[in-house]
Amino acid sequence: MNVYIETYGCQMNFADSDVIGAILGKEGYSIVNDIATADYVMINTCAIRDNAEQRIRHRVHDLKALQRKKPSLRIGVLGCMAERLKTQLLAEEDNISFVAGPDSYRSLPQILRKVGQGGKAAETELSTTETYDDIQPVRLNGNGVSAYISIMRGCQNFCAYCVVPYTRGRERSRNPETVMAEARSLYDEGYKEVVLLGQNVNSYRYEGAEAMSFPRLLESVAAIAPDLRVRYATSHPKDLSDDLLRVMADHDNICKSIHLPVQSGSDRMLKLMNRHYDRAWYLDRIDAIRRYMPDCSITTDIIAGFCTETEEDHQATLDLFRRVRYDYAFMFKFSMRPDTYAAKHLSDDVPDEVKTRRLEEIIALQGQIALENNQKEIGRTYEVLVEGVSHRSDSQLFGRNSQNKVLVFDRHEAKPGQYVRVKVTGCTAATLKGEIETS
């Protein structure tokens, strides 16, 4: 039987799809790349904003055409939207046969047997312990160079706007020995970069014979090999420690880039969002990053138009962007999510056109800053890990420097998985152009 898996949402969802691929592969299912050959289609979904869910609803409707051609085709919805809506999804979308939440993937073989016989199934129990520790993920969308390793699951920070604690459950950390084993085996297979994933990696903690914190785990992974790069995401500003910054600074192969979502530049908003830090704390953490690692890139997430946001709050965000000068930002319009603190206690009172205008102002400012930051890179030389052939031209390759910036350059003899030295010769706001240094 053939299974086609389609993934939406964050990196953690992509890592989960690789776990699903491993679970099903072990049971004799084939994971296929061509949806036309599938007996089962699984959509691994995201619920973070309403537009993410709408996009998935459209996709589910579109699949009806395929089902008409192949009536035996069974469709399932997995991931965060499945967890949020549970059996309601089965009731609302009549072409879906099963839903499975993020902690139910071990049940997928049983679920498929049941729906294969014409039944429907819903498994959405969240767990306090499941980490899929023992499962060696199959790299479904892998490039053979860089791979994700999920080191923890869930989140219990309960930011007022966020659905993740409800869709992913309690925070739990994975056994460090299995993380190390996975990283070592990736390196042995030729991978040159691992990205350690969690909603808030700073609170990684494994209580074994000896407790393991995130900085210690990071150090251990970095010790596997000097030519294995290590990245991680995401850090919560409230507990970004000097200990972690020191570990990063001390290891050449721990990449010098930090994703530090700020969400708002206004203290009043940060409090209402339940972020547990204020602007002064955040700026202090930015200073600390620059003290330990002057060459570290910093990126962020921002929400425009959260409940009660005023023009003054918005100006505070723009001001923070001017101060920090991020290299990149993921920028969103606030979307009210059911069940969250905001949905229960606050009102979505910023008109949509105001949210849009504020978001556009942030995007315009950030675009300008990113371009100026990149212009300063011209003339510098970086060690770049080649990831693949450029989308624009077969004669060019692309890769990233330690700062996670994408560089595009002429191929010469280089191949994906190799390190090359590239001198930056030009840029846009999004990419650096360069030349391989041959001597």
Which residues lie near ligand SAH (CB under 6 A)? 48-49, 161-162, 164, 199-200, 234, 236, 261, 263, 301, 303, 332, 334-335, 337
Minimal distance in Å, beta carbon 55 to ligand F3S? 12
Which helix (H) or strand (E) element contains residue 172? strand 172-173
Q: Which helix (H) or strand (E) holds 151?
A: none
Q: For ligand F3S, which is the closer residue by CB, 46 or 99?
A: 46
Question: Between residue 61 and residue 120, which ones bind ligand F3S under the rule CB under 6 A?
Answer: 79-80
Tokens of 316: 């505070």
Regarding 159 and contact with ligand SF4 (CB under 6 A), the answer is yes
352, 328 Cβ separation under 8 angstroms: no
Name which of ligand SAH, ligand F3S, ligand SF4, none residue 165 binds, using a CB cut-off of 5 to 8 Å depending on partner kind. ligand SF4
- Pick one of ligand SF4, ligand SAH, ligand F3S, none as the site partner of residue 12 (Cβ within 5 to 8 A by kind): ligand F3S
Closest CA to 139 of 98, 185, 97: 185
Q: Assess 162 for contact with ligand SF4 (CB under 6 A).
A: yes
Residue 9 in the binding site for ligand F3S (CB under 6 A): yes
Based on the shown chain and the rule CB under 6 A, indicate whether residue 167 belongs to the binding site for ligand F3S. Answer: yes
| Distance in Å, CB of 162 to ligand SAH, minimum | 4
**158 touches, from ligand SF4, ligand F3S, ligand SAH, none (C-beta below 5 to 8 Å by class):** ligand SF4
Residue type, 358: R
Indicate the residue among 239 and 267 with the shorter CB distance to ligand SF4: 239
| Cα→Cα distances 145→15, 192, 408, Å | 15, 5, 16
For position 164 contacting ligand F3S by CB under 6 A, the verdict is yes
Closer by beta carbon to ligand SF4, 157 or else 220:
157
CB of 105: closest distance to ligand SAH in angstroms?
20
CB of 10 or CB of 31, closer to ligand F3S: 10
Buried b (16+ CB within 10 A) or exposed e, 292-308: bbeebbbbbebbbbbbe
Q: Which residue is nearest to ligand F3S (CB)?
A: 9
* Residue 233 Cβ vs ligand F3S, minimum distance, rounded to whole Å: 11
86: nearest Cα among 73, 103, 110:
103
Distance in angstroms (rounded) separating the CA atoms of residues 58 and 108: 24
Q: How far is the CB of 99 from ligand SAH (least distance, A)?
A: 21
* Stretch of 37-45, 158-166, 303-311, 397-405 lying at the interface with ligand SF4 (CB under 6 A): 158-166
Q: Which stretch binds ligand SF4 (CB under 6 A): 2-10, 58-66, 119-127, 156-164?
A: 156-164
Q: Provide the strand spans (E) within 204-327.
A: 205-207, 211-213, 229-233, 257-259, 297-304
For ligand SAH, the closer of residues 15 and 63 by Cβ is 15
Reduced 3-state DSSP string for 95-150: CCCEEECCCCHHHHHHHHHHHHCCCCEEECCCCCCCCCCCCCCCCCCCCCCEEEEE
- Find which of ligand SF4, ligand SAH, ligand F3S, none residue 303 binds, CB within 5 to 8 Å per kind: ligand SAH
The CA distance from 81 to 44, in Å, is 8
Residue 164 binds to ligand SF4 (criterion: CB under 6 A): yes
Can you tell me which residue has the tokens 């949509």? Answer: 352
User: What letter would DSSP give residue 254?
Assistant: B
Q: Which helix (H) or strand (E) holds 385?
A: strand 381-389
β partners of residue 197:
150, 233
Quickly tell me which residue has 């350059």 as its tokens: 409
Judged by CB under 6 A, the stretch of 40-48, 54-62, 115-123, 356-364 that binds ligand F3S is 40-48
Residue carrying the six token digits 């420690």: 241
Determine the Cα–Cα distance for residues 383 and 193; give it in Å rounded to an integer. Answer: 13
User: Which partner, ligand F3S, ligand SF4, ligand SAH, none, binds residue 337 by CB below 5 to 8 Å per kind?
Assistant: ligand SAH
Structure tokens at 412: 């010469």
H helices of 259-393, where?
267-272, 279-292, 311-324, 341-345, 352-375
Residues 207-266 that bind ligand SF4 (CB under 6 A): 236
* Bridge partner residues of 150 (DSSP): 197
82 or 164: CB nearest ligand SF4: 164
Give the binding site for ligand F3S (CB under 6 A).
9-10, 12-13, 46-48, 79-80, 163-164, 167-168
Give the binding site for ligand SF4 (CB under 6 A).
155, 157-159, 162, 164-165, 199-200, 236
